[in-house]
Structure 1
Amino acid sequence: MSSKRTRSMGEMISTVCFFGMSAWIALEALALMSVAPKWQIYGLFGASIMCLLGGLRFVIADMATALQRRFK
């Protein structure tokens, strides 16, 4: 399902940054579990998931395109 277009260096760097920040924020949430309020922990995990989805943006776009082609 990958697209034929090659990704630019900037797109690859931003993808790695999204994955790195996702891991960092998730680890920070785990480290603060016993000392921070629950809403803050949930917010950090939410931000981690959003960064993970940002890193997967090209995969998500390819899947959406494939679904559009299939149901057209």
Structure 2
Amino acid sequence: TDAVLDEVAEWQNRPLEPLYPLVFFDAIRVKVRDEGTVRNKAIYVALGVRPDGTKEILGLWIEQTEGAKFWLRVM
């Protein structure tokens, strides 16, 4: 993963479009190996739809739990 850290940082700091007519917020629970054990974690995603209909991932986050309080921090 160290080989892509620069690309990840570039993606995280890219400028976003000024307008997304639709934005979807969702989360999925997945099993993740963490420090030698398998744990359930929530993968949050914000998906924006541009005026021309193309979709763009606006952000991804991994948290221990799923809930509205996380989205409040994102907003």
Report the TM-score, using the length of structure 2 for normalisation. 0.30
Higher helix share: 1
**Which structure is higher in strand share?**
2
Q: TM-score, normalised by structure 1?
A: 0.31
Q: Which has the higher contact order (CA 8 A, sep 6+)?
A: 1
